Amino acid sequence: MPTDTRATRLAVLISGGGSNLRALLDVIAADAGFGGEVVVVGSDRTDAAGLEHARTAGVATVVEELPRGADAATRAAWEQRLTEGLAAHQPEVVVLAGFMRILSGGFLARWPDRVVNTHPSLLPAFRGAHAVREALAHGVKLTGCTVHLVDEEVDHGPILAQEAVPVLPGDTEVALHERIKAVEHRLLPACVRALCHDHVTVVGRRAEVRLAPDTAEQELHP
């Protein structure tokens, strides 16, 4: 754990409504010992509704839109602009909270083992953008959410925490996703808090997570 009391600087990336961003901001506001503060919110969409959460909280925003069908050079230039926009605020941890773009190894190398994502399935099942829909189509009885560190493969990095969510008879994609989000709103802030307090240890694909000081006796295991 750091010896100083300075808050860890957090960047949050979103593409849509930003419910996980809102949950993170609420937890930080309510928890004096959280150990982190959101200093910038980034998005790939100017119309992302979650940007309003940032503005309401007085948090700076960086918006870089990526044109549909962009080629590799355009994507690289887009990512560079986004990276520079975030870096201007000197974040130490980057939180992907419903960010629907794949980031390159160059981006991840800037914040090694400090880019964290939440995904609406029990990885490694149902990777990718349609996890909830695919879980329903597959007929599983349990799905859930996973919080993990990000590597160069999609929904693949070391798992910090997982929690199961039952699939109920007659579930729709929207209904199931809302129940998964309710779990994400607890699990993602808990893992970000642990990162802020250096309570995450990664060896290969295995991560050990200890919740921050006042709940340090609890552990989250993959």
Question: Known catalytic residues?
Answer: 119
Helix, strand, coil: what percent of the chain each, to 5? 35, 25, 40
170-176 long-range contacts (CB < 8 A, ≥24 apart) are 171/136, 172/136, 173/132, 173/133, 173/136, 176/132, 176/135, 176/136, 176/143
Sign of the torsion angle spanned by Cα atoms 136, 141, 146, 152? negative
Where b means 16+ CB within 10 Å and e means fewer, 161-188 reads: bbeebebeeebeeeebbebbbebbbebb
Copy the structure tokens of residue 57.
């909280």
Q: Which of 195, 194, 202, 198 is nearest to 219 (CA)?
A: 194
Q: What is d(CA 89, CA 96) in angstroms, rounded to the nearest whole number?
A: 16
Instruction: Return the bridge partners of 12, or none.
Output: 41, 95
User: Could you tell me if 77 and 66 are in contact, meaning their C-beta atoms sit under 8 angstroms apart?
Assistant: no
Q: What is d(CA 125, CA 122) in angstroms, rounded to the nearest whole number?
A: 6
